[in-house]
Amino acid sequence: MENSVTFHKILTDLNLGSFKLQPQRVSGGYMHKMYCLETTTGKYAIKLLNPAIMKRPDVFRNYQRAERLERVLQENKMPIVPAMEINGRKMQCIENQYYYVFPWVEGRALHWDEIKKEHCKIAGELLAKIHKIEQFEKPFVRDEICIDWGAYIATANTECPEIADKLNSCREILYACQKEFNMALKKIPAVTCINNGDMDSKNILWVDGNPFIIDLECLDYGNPFWDMYQLALSWSGYVLCSIDFELLKAFIVSYHEEYGNVQVDWETLYGSGFGWLEWLEYNIKRALMIECTDEEERQMGISEVHETIHRIVYYHSIKEKLLQNLTTIFC
């Protein structure tokens, strides 16, 4: 798909002018591929949606819901970079390749080790504002995680030895974490709102100190406290396996000040932090070529399996220390 002929077709179909520079691949995507296109009509980001993802049963319904919620955020003046609506639609397709077009934003996402308190405060406040747009007193409905780790390990032993030993050594932890996650699901307060569970640092561009949220395809309805906790962990160093409790506090306090009273059971929310298990399964599938389109993606899957297991094991090991810090935030 990623050839100049196809990009020329995109420009022609969407009336985006002609190239000033050749398309440039943009780094950072873990599931899809991003390109920068500079043309005679402007500068654009093109997101080529992963063909393997587009084969999932509910994928179009999920994207349609995300597009509708993206419009809701726009109407409520949230600082987002929405997909462009061209010819009456946001999602485009050419030669069986689905994609989105965005206006190019000259901003920069923070690396994980660049995050400071002021960034956590801004992100926490922004998330709370999103959560306040629409709220319903209804149970948080979400499928349990029921992954057969043993089956994946057995397949990896023959199909991908690069991940087999690591998975096998962590088998018991993976099952224990899965159980803890599912127990947390049963105890979450009955509140539902617009969620942006992918609003971590890689998906906020900073322009002159102001945040602009990108990659909104994960917009959905969910529980505000579940969403808040996941992102507080992310902004405070979970991804680096080094949570900074001052950053964690800054995010949660800022969220609390904008959202209102946050009455939560931190031990329940702790279990929700094992949502990384689903990302791990997805990358196992990529490593095993079950949900994967090419060797580049398979190698990314192998790498992400190792990184994700490392994070899960780390998070599992700090439960007591993490809960001690969480319970003193509002003291």
Same domain (yes/no): 141, 283: yes
Same domain (yes/no): 214, 243: yes
Q: What is the pLDDT of residues 11-20, one digit of tens each?
A: 999 999 989 8
The pairing of beta strand 108-109 with beta strand 97-103: unpaired
Cross-sheet strand order for the sheet of 220-222: 135-136, 192-195, 220-222
User: What percent of the chain has pLDDT above 90?
Assistant: 82
H or E segment at 192? strand 192-195
User: What percent of the chain has pLDDT above 70?
Assistant: 98
Same domain (yes/no): 201, 161: yes
Which candidate, 59, 55, 54, places its Cα nearest to that of 98?
A: 54
Number of domains in the chain: 2
Q: What is the pLDDT of residues 252-292, one digit of tens each?
A: 999 999 999 877 899 999 999 999 999 999 999 999 999 98
Instruction: Please determine, for residue 251, whether its predicted confidence score (pLDDT) is greater than 90.
Output: yes
Same domain (yes/no): 133, 198: yes
In a domain, 66, yes or no: no
In a domain, 241, yes or no: yes
Same domain (yes/no): 95, 189: no
Instruction: Please determine, for residue 31, whether its predicted confidence score (pLDDT) is greater than 90.
Output: no
Q: What is the pLDDT of residues 92-121, one digit of tens each?
A: 999 889 999 999 999 999 999 999 999 999
Same domain (yes/no): 268, 290: yes
Kindly report the backbone phi and psi dihedral angles of residue 82, in degrees, each rounded to the nearest multiple of 5, phi listed first.
-80, 155
Q: What is the pLDDT of residues 181-220, one digit of tens each?
A: 999 999 988 899 999 988 999 999 999 999 999 999 999 9
In a domain, 74, yes or no: no
* β-pair partners for 102: 45
Same domain (yes/no): 87, 124: no
Cα separation of 252 and 325, whole Å? 12
Same domain (yes/no): 138, 243: yes
Q: Is 216 helix (H, G, I), strand (E, B) or coil?
A: coil
Instruction: Please determine, for residue 227, whether its predicted confidence score (pLDDT) is greater than 60.
Output: yes
Give me the domain span that covers residue 38.
1-56+81-104
Q: Which two tokens stand for residue 98?
A: 């689905």
Same domain (yes/no): 296, 167: yes
Q: How many residues does the chain have?
A: 331
Same domain (yes/no): 275, 300: yes
**pLDDT at residue 5, rounded to an integer:** 61
Q: Which residues contact 270 (CB under 8 A, 6 or more apart)?
A: 180, 184, 319, 322, 323, 326
Same domain (yes/no): 234, 287: yes
**pLDDT at residue 183, rounded to an integer:** 95
In a domain, 128, yes or no: yes
Please answer whether residues 222 and 242 qualify as being in contact, where contact means their C-beta atoms are separated by less than 8 angstroms.
no
Cα separation of 88 and 45, whole Å? 19
Kindly report the CATH number assigned to the domain that includes residue 262.
Answer: 3.90.1200.10
